[in-house]
Structure 1
Amino acid sequence: AFSQVVPTPSLFLHSYLHLFNISSNLSTQSVPFQGSSTLMTAVISLTVFMVGLTGNTLAIYVVLRYAKMKTVTNIYILNLAVADELYIIGLPFLTTQNVLSYWPFGSFLCRVVMTADSMNQFTSIFCLTVMSIDRYLAVVHPIRSTKWRHPRVAKVVSTAVWAVSFVVVLPVVIFSDVQDTFNSCNMNWPEPKNVWSTAFILYTATVGFFGPLLIICLCYLLIVIKMKSSGARAGFTKRRRSERKVTRMVVVIVVVFVLCWLPFFIINIVNLVVIIPESSATAGIYFFAVILSYANSCANPVLYGFLSDNFRQSFRKVLCVRSVRCKANGVDDGDPSAPRTEKTTAHDCIRLSTRNQAYHDPQSSQVVCVSVCLN
């Protein structure tokens, strides 16, 4: 049964399996995932790892590389990307444990992986909470919050977020180890184990998900109230439109986070009350919930690119794929640090690169040049 346990070592063992106790009276003969199923989980896990590692590395680089990207919101996004990347890095270790059905890396690495994984999950939700509070200050108190909404303050707050996350996961630092029962990397709770396990599930769900989510919802409720009241009195200024774009991006990131993590926490809470029967179906459901939490770390860089013009331009610049739109009044080459006041002709555009391809846009009567890095 799944009641506070992982029934066999051949289940996909991800770092949050420490939320469950392993029961010593379970039969080790029942193996829900075998053969092709184990291979499938390994392929999915490694795909998520590669996509997440690439996307978050790119997000980290562009924030550090371009001065224009060092806004308050982007500093928090930088910390979120670092947390996502460190979270993703633990996936190959846990996939190896799943394939081999035991933990081959020793006690020290078990503790390191478990601690890093837990800490960065907490850091993610705390970063989203801070970003939501920042959006509240920017929209509801735009003048009074100016002295607090500064990159230096954002860096101090980010440091505090990491420190708090480490304190919160001290139980994982202390009790994570290689278990004798299945030789798996998990939590070794003292007696009474059931009490410790239940307390930790509730503690993790409250501090690491539902508590911050309540604060986030309150922030956006106040933002909605403010925007409705101000919208009725005044038109949209350029600053207000910009704030709305940033707020929309943060809201979408938060919503995706909740959708990706909610199934996992629901399973944990249900698991405290109801004995979940052991079967391939329930094992598959648990695997889906686990891999969905990792998929969230892959989704975030994609969201940055779709929802932020600056991130999209920076990504194009780093990937050496840039779209240059030549107008009578200026040029947009996708470089977030480039000036926007140059007068550029179609001839100048074509001379930007010997590899450029130029074509005429009949709808806008503009010459569009696409420069592609081929090296």
Structure 2
Amino acid sequence: MSDAGVNITFTTLQYDYSYYYDYPDIIPCISVSMKDFIKVFVAILYSLVFILGFIGNGLVVCVLVKHRNQANLTDICLFNLALSDLLFVIVLPFFSHYIVVGQWIFGDFMCRFTSGSHTAGFFSSIFFMVVMTLDRYMVIMHAHKTVGYRTMRAGLVLTVFVWILSLCVSLRAFIFTKVTNESYGYGCTDSLDNEYWTNYDLFTTNVLGLVIPLLVMVVCYSRIIPRLVNMRTVKRYRAVKLIIAIMVVFFLFWAPYNISRFLKFLQSKNMLPLDCTWYQNITLAITVTEAIAYTHCCLNPVIYAFVGQKFMKRVLQMLKNWVPGICRNLPESSFRKSSVVSRSSDATSTFIM
């Protein structure tokens, strides 16, 4: 099959794209060169995300576990955010192998586990970012009301609630993803071909995964910023810059992917042209924006943890213990200059974990 006026040979992919994307009723028509690009692009970027995300979030978990006796509500949220990102990235090598090799070789249990864990990690990461935003808002805007509520018990209850909610939203992936025997070999696909579940998947990803979190951030931080600017501290502007960075990074990394998926939905409803050109463009857009969105989990440790004075001092101390001499020339004062806050009990400390 060839596109009008263009000498390009199209072929269906060797692997089942209905797993990687969301609408299996459309048969892919995609160029061989694009297929090869997708394989290389996904393999390289997923590998980088896995390595950087595992190291960064793993370091956050190690530091917080070591200092668990000094943990507060902020530390609990950061710990669970790092766990969510770890759950999100540890399955990427399986997806990368599936896309590059062309079939699923890890069995039905791992098919369900990787799909469900990936989805649960995505939603729990988003939900914990929302919780941290609301916690910052309450501490800065209503500090006198939060003293008795920001306890270890409250943090544990909140943690259990967020994880249960994330698992409930992700049940579809755990239950209905399974190994299937396709013409190209074994695939790991969604066994449901139902309009209700398709709309549910689109709703949860776009509304729960982008619209509501972004709305919470904009509303809360738009009220927090004026309060911080009026505070008598030289670090208030750095805190404001961090707030803006959190919102901008979140939007830039996730919005393109959600928009691409929505275009895919419109195409499945025949509201966009269903031809090779459109299909190629939307397929490529989803592939690229999805992989880029996944890199957000690598930035979470930097945004929420490593910019903080208290956390950086703990990281430095742990690295000195693990690898003597590696941090000998990195005085702690160098991190103090780049920190946003000084103590976790201060108002601006809610931006440093």
Cα deviation code 1:43-84 (max 9, x no counterpart): 332122111111111111111113586232222111111111
1:296: how far off?
A: 0.8
Superposed CA deviations along residues 291-321 of structure 1, whole A, max 9, x for unmatched, are 1122111122233465211222222222221
Paired residue type of 1:296:
H
- How many residues align structurally? 312
Greater mean deviation of Cα atoms: 34-43 or 97-106: 34-43
Which stretch of the first structure deviates more once superposed, 124-133 or 177-186? 177-186
The alignment status of 1:189 with 2:192, answered yes or no, reads yes
Is the contact made by 1:14 and 1:94 (CA closer than 8 Å) also made in structure 2? no
Match of 1:262 among 243, 255, 258: 255
Q: % of aligned pairs identical?
A: 25
Conserved 8 A contact 2:18-2:189? no
- The unaligned stretches of length 5 or more in structure 1 are 1-6, 326-330, 336-375
8 Å contact from structure 2 (residues 13, 35) kept in 1: no
Contact 1:45 1:92 in 2 (8 A): yes
3-state SS of paired residue (1:186) = strand
Q: Which amino acid counterpart does residue 129 of structure 1 have in structure 2?
A: V
Report the Cα distance in structure 1 between the residues aligned to 2:168 and 2:144, rounded to whole angstroms.
34
For structure 2, which runs of at least 5 residues remain unmatched after alignment? 1-10, 267-271, 321-326, 337-353
Cα distance in 1 between the residues matched to 2:247 and 2:18: 23
Q: CA deviation at 1:124?
A: 0.9
TM value normalised by structure 1: 0.72
Superposed CA RMSD in Å reads 3.3
CA contact (8 A) 1:52 1:297 kept: yes
Q: Contact 2:178/2:190 (CA < 8 Å) preserved in 1?
A: yes
Q: By how many angstroms is 1:40 displaced?
A: 4.3
Within-5 A mapping of 1:13-162:
17=20, 20-23=22-25, 26=27, 31=32, 33-35=34-36, 38-66=39-67, 70-162=71-163
Structure with the largest fraction of helix: 2
What's the CA shift string for 1:3-49, capped at 9, x where partnerless? xxxx954579697x35x1212x6267854544565234323321221
Structure 1 residue aligned with 2:288: 288
Q: Distance in 1 between matches of 2:70 and 2:294?
A: 26
Displacement of 1:96:
0.6
Question: Is the contact made by 1:133 and 1:219 (CA closer than 8 Å) also made in structure 2?
Answer: yes
Structure 1 residues 58-114: Cα deviation after superposition (integer angstroms, max 9, x where no partner): 111111113586232222111111111110001000001011111111221111111
Query: How far off its partner does 1:147 sit?
Result: 1.2
Whichever residue aligns with residue 258 of structure 2, its letter is F
TM-score (structure 2 length as normaliser): 0.76
After TM superposition, the runs of 4+ consecutive aligned structure 1 residues lying more than 6 A away are 11-15, 244-247
State the structure with more CA Rg.
1
CA deviations on 1:325-353 (whole Å, 9 max, x unpaired) are 5xxxxx96989xxxxxxxxxxxxxxxxxx
